[in-house]
Amino acid sequence: MGRPVDEMDDAEVWARLATVEHWYHPVELRPGLVTPGHNGAGHVLELLDLPVDCSGLRVLDLGARDGFFTFEMERRGADVTAVDYLPDTTTGFRVCADLLGSKAKFVHANIYDLGPDEFGTFDIVLFLGLIYHLPDPLEALHRVRSVSRGRLCLESHVIDNALMLEDGSTVSLASISPGLERLPLMQFFKGGVLRGDPSNYWGPTLVALEAMATEALFKVTSSTLIGDRGIVNAVVTTDKMISDWNNKARAKLAG
């Protein structure tokens, strides 16, 4: 760990930032000094149902990447665990953590490794920009539910305004058939047709995103559609019928 950012001049900081090949999150290290990165994380943050004071709360940041949300929640007083399938040294996370003097815990793991025995449970789970990259999104939500004891913030690519046609162009679902966007639909993206990224598997409707959260035993408190992105805020709930059906489905898979 090197010196914190407050003890370095701009040239030293930028030299550290230049050691990272690709930046995704623009992380403010001090007033006026922000890392490279094109993701609109700041706008997403404004739409999440998050307390200003997170003192005493445990927060899980899934798919943390460079750590924008990890460090923001830590700044608000939370005890934060960040998880990513990439090591923190191959993204900007470790550089930012060192510069900020962060005490956040980083875990190099896959979301399908989640479970309360190893991770414990969390008051807030941030599941942002990740679910549409996962081959089994509903199973991922069940794993998230297993470590949740409070709020879920879920954000994803959605197709309400961006159904992809065969030629690669996009149209709104309503333009094809009014009311189609009110159905819990998902589009599968084959072979990297969405932005050239083969890990972009799914495009749900916002309603589908809400329905999957409900199926995983979360109660949706609000949802927002912005272009081709959807945000769902939810809290944990219980439902014996859904739990029983989930258990039966898993028993069949296990058999």
Residues of 208-223 as b/e, b for ≥16 C-beta within 10 angstroms? bbbbbbbbbbbebeeb
Superfamily of domain 40-254: Vaccinia Virus protein VP39 (3.40.50.150)
Contact in structure between 31 and 52 (CB atoms under 8 Å): no
pTM over 0.85: yes
**Per-residue confidence of the chain (255 residues) as pLDDT tens digits?**
668 888 889 999 999 999 999 999 999 999 999 999 999 999 999 999 899 999 999 999 999 999 999 999 999 999 999 999 999 999 999 999 999 999 999 999 999 999 999 999 999 999 999 999 999 999 999 999 999 999 999 999 999 999 999 999 999 999 999 999 999 999 999 988 998 889 999 999 999 999 999 999 999 999 999 999 999 999 999 999 999 988 888 776 655
Measured in degrees and rounded to the nearest 5, phi and psi for residue 47 equal -100, 0
- CA–CA separation, 53 and 33 (whole Å): 24
